[in-house]
Amino acid sequence: MLEPEVEARPWDEQLALDDDAYRAQLAYLLDRSAFYRRKLAAAGIDESAAAGGLAEIGRLPLTEKQELRETVSPDDPVGAHLCAAPEEIVRIYSTSGTTGAPSYVPLTVGDLSNWIAGSARSYAASGVTSGQRIVSTYNAGPFVAGAALASFDRIGLCHIPVGTGNTERLVRAVELLRPEAAVLTPSYAAHLVEWAAERGISLAGSSVERVLVAGEPGGGEPVFRATLEEGWDARVTEAMGIGDIGVSLWGECEEQDGMHLGARDFVHAELLDAESGSARPLGDGGSGELVLTHLRHRAAPLLRFRTRDHVEVRTAPCPCGRTSPRIRCVGRTDDMLIVRGVNVFPTAVREVVAAFAPRVSGRIVVAPEQPGVMQDPPLPVRVELADGALPDAELAEAIRARLREVLVVTTRVELARWGRLERSEYKSTLLDRKGR
Ligand SMILES: [Zn+2]
């Protein structure tokens, strides 16, 4: 562990510390944040709310990304939730804008330091240690992922940034510089295995022992993960951050049973029923939308921010000794479809289909026919075949039957020849609303 006194701290002690931090954070917001002063007053919440501490955080209204965006103007490019004076801001990142126009994320020197500390714990959980080499493939540039790269320095790794868009250069760097670890999106990790195999290069024979995936859900799906582990002959663990809250907040340990909260001390996590908006207990086996609250943030702290990430929680003791809860991201609430009352995540569809390897490539696209979340069955699913495999009605039927059995959803499976579904050096799109 990078910081055992923090990471192995009993969870009830953590909550007590967080309780104090939360009260101070709430007082800070009421003092400095025009956005929260307005929002909390409208909800009938005043200074006395801080007295209830974390136990009563559920009384506070949730914060939606869209609300923050609506306060942005040319005079106020960050938004009304900005609390710090211009001279206190040392960095301004952009969110990548996967779900709309990019927004700005300012940080004070303390915020940046906390981000890096949390990210370093998350990445170190994977087992990478000081003195090892790690190759990174993020064009982090303007994005919050840039702060994650700084966490590699904090761990003491030798960082080899290669960037996105040049697979040949990346594979060459791996061959010549012999890094022990690689950090990339799960989509790109899968693409590299294929790319290398087509050229007679074996990534399994490379120096890479650890593949750290982040940037999108999927790295934790058992079948997909097994494919990556086999292709790289490496242990695959994942990390996850939320642009507006922090970078690589969560990181998986070598037990591979979900991501620990590396950003403990800095962030408080809750679970929500995404449809009703009511709180759910953050207990073992729980699931729901992840809601996060800053505890020690200064530049633009957020309260009860809806992340739109649907997660499953584990709180049973982890053999690694880290005491924080662990999560697995099942998918984005934004990608969720409801087919005859049943919630369907494209990532879950991919997981079921992947079990048909080696007959399929593992790539799928869910192509809903109706706009919006509600869909009438059958739900169209395009499934890419393995290299050289030909469309086969029996296989399509077997996949359809399996999806029905596991996910309780009626689909129409369209098989596509190998190479027909898009490859990505960054994130995959599992939902295709184009052309419909
Ligand atoms: Zn663990």
User: Can you tell me whether residue 291 is helix, strand or coil?
Assistant: strand
* Dist. CA 272 → ligand 1 center (Å): 24
C-alpha triplet 66, 71, 77: angle, nearest 5°: 110
Q: Is the pLDDT of residue 435 over 50?
A: no
More confident call, 212 vs 358: 212
In the sheet that 259-261 helps form, which strands lie side by side, from edge to edge? 158-161, 133-136, 181-184, 210-213, 235-242, 246-252, 259-261, 326-332, 305-314, 287-294, 267-272, 279-280
- The pLDDT of residue 426 is 66
Digit-coded pLDDT (tens) for 337-348: 888 878 888 888
**Rounded-to-integer distance, Cα 341 and Cα 360, Å:** 29
The pLDDT score that the predictor gives to residue 129 is 97
| Residue 187 pLDDT level (bands cut at 50, 70, 90) | confident
436 pLDDT tier (thresholds 50, 70, 90): very low
Q: Is the pLDDT of residue 400 over 90?
A: yes
At residue 100, the pLDDT reads 61
Residues 401, 387: contact at Cβ < 8 Å?
no
Nearest alpha carbon to residue 260 among 217, 333, 317: 317
Q: How far is ligand 1, taken at its centre, from the CA of residue 324, in Å? A: 8
Distance CA(21)–CA(27), nearest Å, equals 10
Residue 175 confidence (pLDDT) above 50:
yes
Conformational region of residue 100, where left means phi above 0, alpha means psi within -120 to 50, and beta covers everything else: left
Q: How many C-beta atoms lie closer than 10 Å to residue 273's C-beta?
A: 12
Angle 367-369-373 from CA coordinates, rounded to 5°: 85
- Between the CA of 348 and the centroid of ligand 1 the distance, in Å, is 24
Ligand 1 centroid vs 252 CA: distance in angstroms?
7
Ligand 1: distance of its center to the CA of 311 in Å?
A: 17
Q: In this structure, which amino acid lies at residue 153? A: D
pTM (predicted TM-score): 0.88
Give the confidence band of 96 by pLDDT, cuts at 50, 70, 90.
low
